[in-house]
Chains A and B, each alone.
Chain A
Amino acid sequence: MMAFLLQHAPPLVIALPLVAAFAMPMVSRLGARAVKAWALLSLLATESLVLLLGRDVMSGNPHVYALGAAIPSLTTPAGYPIRIIIEVDAMSAFMAMICASISVLVCMYSLQYVRKKGGQDKYYTLLLLMTAGMMGLVCTGDLFSMFVFLELLSVSSGALIAFYARRGESSEAAFKFMVVSSIGALMVLLAAGIFYGQYNMLNLAAIGGMLRFGFLDKVALVLLVAAFAMKCGAVPMHMWVSDAYGEAPAPVSAFLVVASQASLYALFRVCFTLFGVAAATEIMGWALVVLGMLTMFIGVTMAIPQKDIKRLMSYHAVSQTGYMLLGVGVCLAVLGNAAALGSFGITAMQGGLFHVVNHAMYKGLLFLAAGAIIYRTGTRDLNKLGGLAHRMPLTAIFFLIGAFSISGLPPFNGFASKLMIYESVFRFNPLLSVIAMLTSILTLASFMKVFHSAFLGPELPEYRGVREMPPAMWISMGILAVFIMLFGIFPDLVVQYLVGPASQALLDRIGYLGGVL
């Protein structure tokens, strides 16, 4: 039974949330409790399948699954591959584990957070669809499926951003998000068309193996990088992030962070696996580094003057994406230079990937803490909030853990990954490292301002009746907080068992290509 599940796990992790989502209208006939139980149970099942798959993949056993063919290498008589490949290597498994774990916590938090009458079944349907989209995006080995799952992810997250449709702003944010992400997805489709026209293939590994890197390939590279950078919220196109994260319900914002990281995964996959060393990696790497620096610095400077608590956190999310781009960009820039790659390139990439998982956790915790404040007080305006630590001590503690972690203070997990980025980037170019540290200090300053204005000070009369958040909310936040501490105290174990294999898989282009051909 276990072996059967493990063998078919790659398509199942995508199919399970998808089927559960479409079964939701039927389940909703049984009442509101059934809807919640169904959503939580199917996400838990997905999570356990992903963990089962992840454990196997991380121990050096990548899975290649062919849909529509008995063996992955089946071709037509003319030699064109006809099958859809799902290829899960350690990097995909790493991302899938992040997505699945956060989805369970977000669902648990939503059980009490989402109180809107009549929209419950739709909310959980969309949440399950988002999970399916992310799982597909990180597991697929096919450029066209990547487009399909990207669109599935965008449509379902667009609908969730506009969940509070009676507010005009949320529709506005959702519209902006949809325009940006549909143009981004169309660019991916255009790139897929360009590749299909040249090589008659859509499979990432097969295209990577035949790549000539001519003019059209360069156009496709630019299209793909631009599209995924747009979708992960890198700076010139960061304007949708603050609106979308700010206007979505708080658990959805926490989940959208992971959705952006799935696009970041696609960006790294394209740069490292599809193109690899052949494609002028130094220029590409520098492009990512510059994008990362701009994202980091502009994000944090835009965050400082914000008065809306969630909008402020959204700009910080933009800024933190910059660290991941910086770390992985440095590795890409020295990919052709074996000595530099060995001495600091790999550490930089591990720092960047470690920051991905840390960001998903602490940013999730911060958004959920903001959600708890909004849930109890009904306002997001920092000028109106104050003195909440008297009434909501648990929220205050969770918020502080998240804030210390995002600012890179020891012993929280943000410190571990940022230290790896600082020390490796310093050997690449000291100036970049200095700017990264400066950004961290500004982040800390900004979060201390939020903590001070929301939690400290005398108790305000209008919040005298405020109580601590309900159990489902603090349990999910507590789990996140515990993992943040654990990852901060034992970073070496995380790097050894999770981040190390993932970065190795991303660097091992030949291995990924060889899995299919």
Chain B
Amino acid sequence: MMDLPFIAVMILIMLGISAAVLKRNMIKIVMGVSISASGINLLLVALGYREGGVAPIFTNAPAAQMVLPTPQALTLTSIVIDLAVTAMMLSFVILMYKHYGSTDSRKRRLSG
């Protein structure tokens, strides 16, 4: 049971990467990258989970040991970066759609 979150996370990452590699629609490629990014965020959160641990919020915490908040900090940073990357890629898709009139990755000019 302990490994269940990790297996789910790996499936999510694989799904995302396979979508990014196999799909022809550029919006779906962006979605694939975004899904695998979420998978990795979930992995980080799952790594930081301690059963019965105390959340590291100073105002309400009892004077006991708290969970080290590093994984949560990593996840927050990574979410912000994912947002920037996704927005960036979508804006490129918009520009290409304006230019070529399609989101199909086969209708492009750079090759060889």
Q: A residues touching B (Cβ–Cβ < 8 Å)?
A: 76, 78, 80, 82, 144, 147-148, 151, 154-155, 158-159, 162, 165, 167-169, 171-176, 178-179, 182-183, 185-186, 189-190, 192-193, 196-197, 200, 202, 243, 246-247, 302
Contact = CB atoms under 8 A, between A and B. Distances in A.
B16 to A, nearest CB: 9
Contacts of A243: 110
B70 A202 contact: yes
Contacts, number: 96
B110 A171 contact: no
A196 B92 CA distance: 34
A155 B100 contact: no
B92 A189 contact: no
B33 A168 contact: no
A302 B111 CA distance: 11
A196 B29 contact: no
B59 to A, nearest CB: 20
25 contacts: A144-B74, A151-B81, A155-B85, A155-B88, A162-B95, A168-B96, A169-B110, A171-B95, A172-B109, A175-B92, A178-B85, A182-B33, A182-B37, A183-B36, A186-B36, A186-B37, A186-B40, A189-B78, A192-B74, A193-B47, A196-B44, A196-B47, A200-B68, A202-B70, A246-B110
A168 B99 contact: yes
Main DSSP-derived SS at the B contact region: helix
Ranked nearest first, the 9 interchain pairs of A and B with the lowest CB-CB distance are A168-B99, A171-B95, A175-B92, A197-B47, A151-B81, A171-B92, A182-B85, A243-B110, A171-B96
A182 B70 contact: no
Interface in B25-41: 26, 29, 33, 36-37, 40
A178 B89 contact: yes
Contacts of A175: 26, 89, 92-93, 96
Interface residues of B, number: 33
A159 B84 CA distance: 11
Contacts of B47: 193, 196-197
B99 A171 contact: yes
A417 B68 CA distance: 48
Interface of B: 13, 17, 20, 26, 29, 33, 36-37, 40, 43-44, 47, 68, 70-71, 74, 77-78, 81, 84-85, 88-89, 92-93, 95-96, 99-100, 108-110, 112
Contact of B70 (A196, A246, A302): A196
Contacts of B96: 168, 171-172, 175
Given A162-B95, A175-B96, A179-B29, A190 B70 contact: no
B77 A148 contact: yes
Contact of B89 (A144, A182, A189, A197): A182
A168 B100 contact: yes
A169 B36 CA distance: 27
A168 B95 contact: yes
A176 B70 CA distance: 32
Contact of A190 (B43, B99, B108, B109): B43
A69 B46 CA distance: 27
